[in-house]
Chains A and B, each alone.
Chain A
Amino acid sequence: MTTIAETGGDTAAGAPLVQVQDLEMYFPIYKGVLRRQVGSVRAVDGLSFDIRRGETLGLVGESGCGKSTCGRALLRLYEVTGGRITFEGRDIAELAGNALRDMRPRMQMIFQDPQACLNPRMTVGSIISEPLDEHHVATGEEKRQRVRELLEAVGMNPEFANRYPHEFSGGQRQRIGIARALALAPDFIVCDEPIAALDVSIQAQVVNLLQDLQEKLGLTYLFISHDLSMIRHIADRVAVMYLGKIVELAPVEELFNAPKHPYTKALLSAVPVPDPAVEAKRERIILTGDVPNPANPPAGCRFCTRCPDAIDRCSVEEPVWRNLGPAKGSNGTVEDHFVACHRVE
């Protein structure tokens, strides 16, 4: 049984820090000599979810499904096409100018490629202190002290402040990126595939660091990744995206043990398990075909072209986003399980 009070958040897991309602992000397509707009890529098309204070919300999906666009839109790195993004009760989708700038220190981002996101001509110290300068937080000795603290917080030698990014390995560069994101003491961090570019043995170091920092500083993460086993490890709740829509959202164990949406099931069965005994006898759902073009998504359910369970209704009527009722969350809390599919009872 579900009531409005239950779906409205404010459950034991903490009040929502970020609330997203019908978020839309379309990118225009221009063609011809006059560069007329002929259509748009619907990268993010009507997302609604909450991120609770102190939790890690995992966002998974394949390339091109809109997960990075969603992360960037939440931070207002884009002018969103439609919808509301409420951060601590303020709608930041509407903010502009100085009002938006004042909100920026509260929310930060960690990027995928630690090589590309650090300016090779700046020292590590100036990279980390740039946000402090921008927002006039600290100067002089106070600033240098803060940089040293930040480097220590991410497990690096404070003496490294005078070195350049090329002197560091991938894992260390990612630590520098994390230190920069922490500089303004944010509440909310969007981690956009923070470990995808790192080697397996280094991934664990970075993930452990992110978890330690979350515990110490009470951070809230949106953790975007295509690595489902890492999502299972780090996330409290997981949202699965396909072609601009969230198809399923559930507490992490519930999603991995009892997935409801056919796409989630296929995605989970496609992840190779590092155990030959399991690999030899597991059942795989092999999807046929490819992800359709987001500029011209199929009618009805977007997954209907590849779905093994599709019926006629799926290609006509778009499934509604509905609550299946409470499921067991992490730390004994009760969370809701949402899905958008006609075939789920």
Chain B
Amino acid sequence: MNDTLRNAFYEEAEELFQEIEDCLLDLDSTGTTGDKINNLFRYMHTLKGSSAAMKIQDMAELAHHIEDVLGLVRDQKLELTGDQIDWILQGLDEMKVRVAKHRENEAYEIDVDAITAGLDACPSRAAVSSDKKAAGKAEDTGAFLSEKEKSSMLKSLGPEEKAFQIRIRLTHDTPMKGARLFLVTDRLEQAGRIYKTSWENTEPENIAGDRFSVFLVSQLPKKEIEGRIHTISEIEETDVSEICGGRNPVPAAKSGTSGDREELQSVIRVNIKKLDQLMRIVEELSVDKERLKQLMKKVSQRYRGDEDVTSLSALTNQIDFIGNELQESVMSTRMYTLDSVFNRFPRMIRDLSKKEGKEIAFQVEGESTELDRSIMEKIIDPLNHMIRNSVDHGIESPEEREKHGKSRKGTIKLSAGQEQGHIFISLKDDGKGINLRRVKEKAIARGLITQAQAGSMTEREALELIFLPGFSTSDKVTEVSGRGVGMNVVKENIEAINGMIDMDNEEGRGLAITMKLPLTLAIIQSLLIRTNTFRFVLPLLSVVEIIRVRETEYDKKVRFIQEKEVMNWRGEVLPVLRGSDLFHSGGERGKSFAGIVLGLSTHKIILAVEEIIGQQQVVIKPLDRFTGKGKILGELRGISGTVILGDGDFAYVLDVQALLKDVMEKRKDEKK
């Protein structure tokens, strides 16, 4: 089998799994409605078709069976129950495994019978399906007609004309269905105008299934229309119903079926390597563009008034503008909306809360926020851990909640958005929050801190203990969490992308964790600084505040702890690091400096530098090929890359994470 085909199948299958899961979970919480079940049916149908094409018979068979059930639901002959959704989800999981194994060329067979038996054994299905005929004629004009289409069809009605939906069922083994349906349209065309057919977008030779619909505008009465077609052989059932305006109201938001389809068609798949390459070229361009601008400035000053120079200058501005547009466009192609990460959580929470006997309402907000792919990858694990923690440690059991005067159902809210050049993602629950006393006890028991340290700790410091490696507040290790690795991973991942973590803990009322993340990793907003002769850039996201210290204020503002400079900043005592010490750049320790309060995930320090040059957008060029033990540049501690400035020189990207780590370790050693 052709690799491209295979890969296309895997990708499609993954998308379909996600769509199906979303629909199912949606149905589970809101009940069956027209469009959703139509989509669900369509997705399952596609999945069946493509797995059959890949010759994965067991999967096709299972999909077929589920499709049958969904077909009944779509035709409103059946209500989907929670049990059935469970079984379908289980079937979906099996299919996921099947596809994953297929990808690895490993054998795996779905136990189709077990799942179909389970599904069929669900009580509601048996009850309703025995009563098929009675429920059969429910109104579902939405089946193949969107709200928009419906209203435009109704608007097109002339005097005396009516709109009809004609449902046809062909005998299951009808050969040449396309030809049969052509006969139908041919006859109906004599009865009126055909507005739409359910198969009009399908090539005649690809027409499959037994049920079809025609939307017809006609002056004839119902009976007459029925008479025109029921004489065609192999039509087993016909049902003509009138479509009326105003009835069967569906909220406007759900009219998206046809729109969705259009959008799907205008999407192409591009290998991410091609986008990365494009991104690199654009980065190159943006560096040269900055240089061009600076040179242009010099040239304009030298040849003021020269006509050509003036137009060259205008052209330079134009190129600068286009370059920025180009950069933004290319960056946007690498952006994903967060829902591709968020959409896995409803299922996870549903499963976890069932397992733990908790009742949880999960709310999502801002899932359309866009994020760079590389950052997206880094936040999946942290979010996973955080949500598991919320379910496991945060939300209490329904009984416990009632006892504390809370509603039985807990709420977990995941929200995201963009503000001031960064992305925030926040997870909030109304559970029991973090018990700081217990956190301290655990930390002491685990030997992470001493009794004395615990006593002198601020609330914030105590809260930060949960980020220490090997810390876990849960007494028992549950399947969900409690292995003591979670929050440590969260912190490391967020630090790796220069993000920050903020916590808002209210014991007994809940916990909110907010992550601040950069928009992209390659191009960053930075603060350009100088210490002696070296220029550095700091990710602006890590800069909390800038404090200027004048010579006259030095003695008042700067204190010493064990001969080390510290400053009091908003109630926190922060160590002061001299840029000149860090990089052996020499220069005296002046009493006047610019202090940059740097924050990363949870810790803060003050970096003292001689000069703050300004803000700049920079493209980071990694140096990691040349750094490390035995490499030409050595370990290059404290530097994570380099950027080319407008004047063609380099500045270095300060590795805030490494700096903070060093300080923290030194501090710890000194405490011992």
A binds B: no
By a beta-carbon cutoff of 8 Å, the part of chain B in contact with chain A is none
